[in-house]
Amino acid sequence: MKSTAEYLFSPERAAQTALSLLEQWGGLTAAAVWSRVDEGWQRLAAIGDAELLVDAAALEAGREAPPQGGALALVSGDAEVGWLVWRGTPSRDVGELASLLSGHLVCARLRAELAVSRVTHETLLEISQLAGEGGTLDAFLPRLHQCVSRLMDATNFQIALYDEEAGALRYPFFRDSTTHEAPSPTEFFTLGSSRVALIAHLIRHARPLVLTRDNIRALGAHAGFAPGVVPRFWLGVPLFNAAGGVLGAVVVQGYDDQRPFSAAEQSLFLFVARHIGFALNKLLYRAHLERQVWLRTGELEGANARLRSEVAERQRAEKMQAMLFRIAELSNTSLSLEAFLAGLHRMLAELVPAANCLVALYHAGEDLLTFPYCADEFSPQLQPRRPGRGLIEQVLHSGRALLTHGGSVDLSDASVPPVSGWLGVPLYCDHELMGVLSVHSYDTQTRYGYRDQELLEFVANHIGAALARVRALEDLQVAYAELEQRVRERTSELDAVNAQLEFDSLHDPLTKLPNRTYFGKALRRAWDSYCNGGERFAVLFIDLDRFKLVNDTLGHLAGDHMLYEAGARVRSCLRHYDFLARLGGDEFAVLLFGVGSFEGCEPTARRIVNEFDRPIILSGREVFTSASVGVVLADAEHYHRAEDLLRDADHAMYRTKQQGRHGYTLFNHELRRNQADQLALESELRRALDEEEQLVPYFQPFVDAQSGALVGFESLVRWRHPERGLISPAVFLPMAEESGLVTRLDRYMIDRACRQLVAWRAEGRRIDQLSLHLNLSSANFHDPGLVDWLTELVTQYALPPDTLHLEITESALIDVPDIAVTVMQALTRLGIRLALDDFGTGYSALSYLHRYHFDVLKIDQAFVAEVDRKEESEAIVRAILALAAALGLDVVAEGVETAAQMHKLREMGCAKLQGFYFAAPAPADAIDWGRLVCEHEEAVGVA
């Protein structure tokens, strides 16, 4: 919300008003107000000869104002946001006026940052929506370019997709103001091509690259390629798919008429590029699925076309069979030959244009042609004659059908017009040529074809074989039965394929349970029914705990068996009309129908949780897992979409995991408010990471158990929120893990702690032998630049690498065991020492000591708390100390809070101690160095 001053004044107007007031006070010959803009300065207003005044850049560099004038920094906290510079002697104190100007400038800057944040959020949301609309890549990329252009200057914008199998890439989208002919979206370039050398370099190294013109030329000279038109700056970011492979790259570049991106714009582009990668991966994956569906649909359409062709053939065969049957019936009557042929003519006219029909029989012994049947529009009955040179004689001579358009039929009448089309076929009986059956037309519009010829030949074959009619009919009936059976079989196969395809599209192939798509449809139907007065229902979201551990340890086959068994156990807890689906991975969802309150849901949720108390037998061994369940009840007052129910059930499930897993959580209004507060807290944490004041390292010392000497500190993060006060790490660290901010948070705190160590050294503190313990989360193992960053950090602060001790929990090793080995080996080669935190509380700590090379073990405070009271704790601590001694590892006992604990651990030979007994975690400026020295002296005296 804007203040009243912001509505009345812009920064320029506020500056001009302030200078006008100074001018009214008198005593000044010139004055100017400067404001910081990005990494430079802008003069907002000036009076008098402002060119004689010192500019803001010079003042920031340390130059002082001349004696005949003055300058006052406009600050917000420790940051300079502007300068008020004057020449002369003001008649009044300008301090209050400078404070007002500082407020205006800070307000303007915050408003600008908020606007950028809002636009960024809206743009990322639009990119995600574009990917979800299901459009093509050609339609998606121009709209994506428009979205990116709203955030930054993307005049020269390129997206390249990488085909790993072909080792080549292409540009589905290419915009460059200096290139008139953009590469075709379907044109591929090998990685060795000079035209794509920069992007090829980016894809090979798989990390963002920012280059200036000189950098590009140097890289071209080193790699042996000519860069062509060299831009002023070049920024490229690799895009990754869901499996972590390189999907392609997105590039922006600028020429002489464009300014380089600021650091903030570069960070924004990196952030946007990651979302572009997610959206492209989603779009390409959907296109792949659509391609598979299209191919399957094409196969079904081909099968359907073949079936239709067979049906058409069957229909044609049926017509033939019907005619054959009628011919057989006709031949079995006592009709004369002429009547028989007249009936045949009538049947033939139903299939072909046969207004004019002629049957000629050849008597070889007499060499004579007779015409037992002649139906002609112009000619009467023909008389017998000897063969001549007409069309009938050509058929008799060749023994094959003849199709012609025009010719002589030898009708022996000059008044008969010429025919326009004639079709004749031979008549056979037992391979003996008997005569000719022909049809002709005088109409020029009538044209005979080969289908007519085929039909006429069919009829002719049966006229001469009237005596063999019974046998031919039986053969035809057999053929008809076989054809109909084939049609039935193909129809049944097609129905089965369609049913299987529909089943596969709606069910999980492993558990045979409905999939996410089917569940979404069922959820929407249940919601629509409920909104229209139907029964109330509940949604249960179920997630298997530690499934990834089982999958990684025992293999995917065992993981599949666990999923199948889990589905069966959940199904056994439900009623027959409840709906169970596998959403993917180790997640299941249930629709409970006919429940009116949470009391109706809890028994089912409790049964599901208790069902996993029994072990599952995998590969001959007992494996225990548990289920975390989230429950939400349909409520038209708080929900407007069915999908929101699944979202809140998922949130309730995660709340169950946060509370220790193996249970269920009922989603209520408090969780809904916490969900909104969690989103707000995440946004505030992002802003805190961009500042210096909120996230503060606290340091807790640990001492030598025998001498009491200070031997090191552990750096712990604390959040001093300007409104919420001191926020516990237990609140914001899980949120940072979920949102992906934990990597930035770890780096931020490591840098701050190292900077403080250097500051203590500059103050003369004797800390050369001290070690600095820093916590490192598992997410950092996915960062390929972690080792390089730590190398630069150690070099920057001139710290001995063995000063840094990175504390790693067993959960980090469980999450990424293979990657952790590689990263930890690189850290060891760098000289940084590694500590295993909370030792003894995990699943298989001894295997980690065998597999990973640690330098320090930290005994968990759960054992230290009772080491002086319980023999079991004492025995465990002694065993850990003996193990560490055998492996040559240092040991630090955490959570020492009493003198009895200290003496007991010292007696047992624990080398280093840490806890509230010595000092609570405190910021750097609150550490009581004198007390630590005194405790050292007291401990030496006691010893």
Does residue 528 carry a pLDDT above 60?
yes
Q: Could you read off the pLDDT of 28-79 as tens digits, one per residue?
A: 888 888 888 766 788 888 888 777 788 877 777 777 777 778 887 788 777 7
Q: Judge whether 284 and 135 are in contact, CB under 8 Å.
A: no
> Of 464, 413, 398, 470, which is closest to residue 437 (Cα–Cα)?
464
Residue 507, number of CB atoms within 10 A of its CB? 17
Q: 554 or 896: whose pLDDT is higher?
A: 896
Four-point Cα dihedral 259, 263, 265, 267, nearest 10:
150
Q: Could you read off the pLDDT of 18-28 as tens digits, one per residue?
A: 888 887 887 78
Three-state secondary-structure class, residue 937:
helix
Q: What percent of the chain has pLDDT over 70?
A: 91
Does residue 1 carry a pLDDT above 50?
no
Q: 220 or 832: whose pLDDT is higher?
A: 832
Confidence band (pLDDT; 50, 70, 90) for 676? Answer: low
Q: 227 or 656: whose pLDDT is higher?
A: 656
| pLDDT for res 940 | 41
| pLDDT for res 707 | 86
Most confident region among 477-481, 675-679, 731-735, 795-799 by mean pLDDT: 795-799
| pLDDT for res 628 | 93
Q: Average pLDDT for residues 428-448, to the nearest whole number?
A: 83
Where is average pLDDT lowest: 424-438, 668-682, 735-749, 760-774? Answer: 668-682
Does residue 384 carry a pLDDT above 80?
yes
Confidence band (pLDDT; 50, 70, 90) for 841? Answer: low
| pLDDT for res 537 | 94
Q: Could you read off the pLDDT of 482-506 as tens digits, one per residue?
A: 889 899 889 888 988 888 888 888 8
β-bridge pairing 246-254 and 356-363: unpaired
| pLDDT for res 527 | 94
Q: Average pLDDT for residues 93-105, to the nearest whole number?
A: 78
Ramachandran quadrant class, 833 (left: phi over 0; alpha: psi -120 to 50; beta: rest) = beta
Please state, in angstroms and rounded to a whole number, the distance separating the CA atoms of residues 439 and 613.
Answer: 88
| pLDDT for res 468 | 41
Q: Could you read off the pLDDT of 599-634 as tens digits, one per residue?
A: 888 999 999 999 998 888 887 788 888 899 999 999
Does residue 203 carry a pLDDT above 90?
no
Confidence band (pLDDT; 50, 70, 90) for 122? Answer: confident
What is the SS3 string spanning 468-537? HHHHHHHHHHHHHHHHHHHHHHHHHHHHHHHHHHHHHHHECCCCCCECHHHHHHHHHHHHHHHHCCCCCE
Which domains are present in the chain? 4-116 (3.30.450.40), 133-291 (3.30.450.40), 332-464 (3.30.450.40), 516-667 (3.30.70.270), 701-716+747-942 (3.20.20.450)
Tokens read off for 318: 């049926």
| pLDDT for res 430 | 73
Confidence band (pLDDT; 50, 70, 90) for 521? Answer: very high
Please state, in angstroms and rounded to a whole number, the distance separating the CA atoms of residues 442 and 456.
Answer: 19
Q: Could you read off the pLDDT of 282-303 as tens digits, one per residue?
A: 888 888 888 888 889 888 999 9
For 803, which DSSP code?
G
Please state, in angstroms and rounded to a whole number, the distance separating the CA atoms of residues 96 and 35.
Answer: 17
DSSP codes joined into one string, 614-625: S-EEETTEEE--
The helix or strand, by DSSP H or E, that contains position 35, with its residue range, turns out to be: strand 28-37
Where is average pLDDT lowest: 377-381, 698-702, 795-799? Answer: 377-381
Residue 614, number of CB atoms within 10 A of its CB? 10
Write the single-letter amino acid at 544.
L
| pLDDT for res 850 | 67
Q: Average pLDDT for residues 93-111, to the nearest whole number?
A: 78
Q: Judge whether 120 and 268 are in contact, CB under 8 Å.
A: yes
Does residue 672 carry a pLDDT above 70?
no
The helix or strand, by DSSP H or E, that contains position 789, with its residue range, turns out to be: helix 786-797
Confidence band (pLDDT; 50, 70, 90) for 933? Answer: low
| pLDDT for res 912 | 92
Tokens read off for 316: 């044609």
Where is average pLDDT lowest: 262-271, 413-422, 730-739, 773-782? Answer: 413-422
Does residue 464 carry a pLDDT above 70?
no
Q: Judge whether 383 and 433 are in contact, CB under 8 Å.
A: no
How high is the mean pLDDT of the chain? 82
Does residue 412 carry a pLDDT above 80?
no
Helices (H), 332-384: 337-349
The helix or strand, by DSSP H or E, that contains position 174, with its residue range, turns out to be: strand 168-175
> Of 862, 861, 816, 810, which is closest to residue 834 (Cα–Cα)?
810
Confidence band (pLDDT; 50, 70, 90) for 466? Answer: low
Q: 97 or 307: whose pLDDT is higher?
A: 307
Q: Average pLDDT for residues 150-165, to the nearest whole number?
A: 85
Does residue 689 carry a pLDDT above 60?
yes
Per-residue exposure over 332-362, b if at least 16 CB sit within 10 Å of its own CB, e if not: eeeeeeeebbebbbebbeebbbbebbbbbbb
Does residue 335 carry a pLDDT above 70?
no
> Of 421, 438, 427, which is closest to residue 375 (Cα–Cα)?
438
Most confident region among 103-112, 181-190, 219-228, 571-580 by mean pLDDT: 571-580
Where is average pLDDT lowest: 642-656, 768-782, 891-905, 908-922? Answer: 768-782
Residue 764, number of CB atoms within 10 A of its CB? 7
567: CB partners within 8 A, 6+ apart: 511, 513, 580, 582, 588
